[in-house]
Amino acid sequence: MLLLLLACGPKHPAVVHTFPGADGRSCASQRVVTVDPDPWSAVTSIAVRLQADTPAAVGPPRSPLAIVHPDDLSGGLRIDLDGELGPAACTLVPGDPNAEQRTCGPYTFSIHYTPLCSTVPMEEGLERMGRPETANFVLAQKFGTRMPEPDVRNTWNTLEAFDLTGRIAACASGGPGCAELLAIQAQMDRGLARLDALDRFDDPKKARNLTSEGAGLDWCPWSVTPDGLRCEGPHPLRDLLTDDFLLVDTRKRCTVDTGSFLEIELAHLQERAPGPDGLRHQTCGGRTPGDDVIDRLLTLTINGPDRVPPGAPLYGPSDAAPDPHRGDGVDAPPEPFPSEFPWLREPRYAD
């Protein structure tokens, strides 16, 4: 990575510390000073000056002398002046031909350091969020099994949101990080299949034969084996959800509680006919604060694509209620959202 160093500006002084030096000690003795510079600065030079009227000299920096990492700062940064300056510290004493035996006169140390900037910072993703419930619902581990599933959510959180499917596709020939990416993809398939199969409890007879066609695996007809007995291949929602972002269209309007989550994606998935404006979707998409995304996700993933009245959208703003409606029993917040900026209500504290 090419990084360009820049001084951070005049508010960061370059010369910060001046220390009195040892007087008359042997150069063989070690002179160590402790300084307390700002984190993420570089010690760029050490100047040594004789006191009073003796000529001054500046020791050349063995650039860079140190990069000050925040972790290094407990107790200050220790600098071995003799080690850094070598003979330069002692040649300041005039008239002594023998460097090994010379003593150093009284002098001061000036530690120069300069806070550094780079135009391209090094960064580490800590957490990411696009669509709700992808991490906690779809990628969650199944507990209580003989074969523990991996918790891929920490890795998931550190990845860029965009074009994850492209990165995973490039893993066909292997590469760094591919094991984690493929584990995420596999867990996505497992999670979606589990959600799809939850409605086998609607019909106890189906629950006895979970692998046959129609046994609660509603997304299965999109990826059923030729014998019609098993589902195979990726879940149809897998790649859509893997690229983890909200899709919003500023050509359409919503209110603060429009049910618009996933509407754009599903309009294309269901091959909805374009409207007069040429767009298949009807809302702004994205996600509004008042949208009941839990009910939407449960109904979509459990019911599958076919349990809607003929001609009705999979799950859209004007569709008839999918049969049956899946939900958590909480369909709205206790109080409506304000219709004006900043749209969210005053805080309320549990503590």
Alpha-carbon 96 to chain mean position: 61
The least distance separating other proteins from the CB of residue 53, rounded to whole angstroms, comes to 32
Closer Cβ to other proteins, 57 or 246, answer by number = 246
Cα(316)–Cα(260) distance, integer angstroms: 7
Nearer to other proteins, 53 or 335 (CB): 335
> Sign (positive/negative) of CA torsion 158, 160, 166, 171?
negative
Q: Which is nearer to other proteins, 94 or 228 (CB)?
A: 228
Nearer to other proteins by C-beta: 10 or 342? 342
The Cα–Cα gap between 305 and 219 comes to 7
Q: Name which of 320 and 330 has its Cβ closer to other proteins.
A: 330
Residue 123, class by beta-carbon neighbours within 10 Å (0-12 exposed, 13-18 middle, 19+ buried)?
exposed
Instruction: Report in angstroms how near the CB of residue 10 gets to other proteins at its nearest.
Output: 15
CB of 98 to other proteins, least distance (A): 26
Task: Quote the crossing angle between the two packed helices 293-303 and 178-197, to the nearest 10°.
Answer: 80
CA nearest 118: which of 10, 9, 3? 3
The answer to whether 39 and 69 have CB atoms below 8 angstroms apart is yes
Specify the residue, 35 or 106, whose C-beta has the smaller distance to other proteins. 35
Give me the least distance between CB of 316 and other proteins, in Å please: 15
C-alpha–C-alpha distance, residues 158 and 151, integer Å:
13
Three-state DSSP class for residue 266: helix
* Residue with smaller CB distance to other proteins, 54 or 165: 165
Least CB distance from residue 209 to other proteins, whole Å?
13
Cβ of residue 56: shortest distance to other proteins, in angstroms? 24
Answer for the pair 49, 18: CB distance below 8 angstroms, yes or no: no
Contact between 263 and 282 (Cβ < 8 Å): yes
Hunting for tokens 């600065």 — which residue is that? 41
CB contact set of 251 (below 8 Å; sequence gap of 6+): 277, 279
We find the least distance from the C-beta atom of residue 55 to other proteins, in angstroms, to be 27
Nearer to other proteins, 243 or 319 (CB): 243
Residue type, 271: E
124-148: buried (b, 16+ CB within 10 Å) or exposed (e) per residue? eeeeeeebbbbbebbbbeeeeeeee
Work out how close the CB of 154 gets to other proteins at its nearest, in angstroms, rounded to a whole number. 5
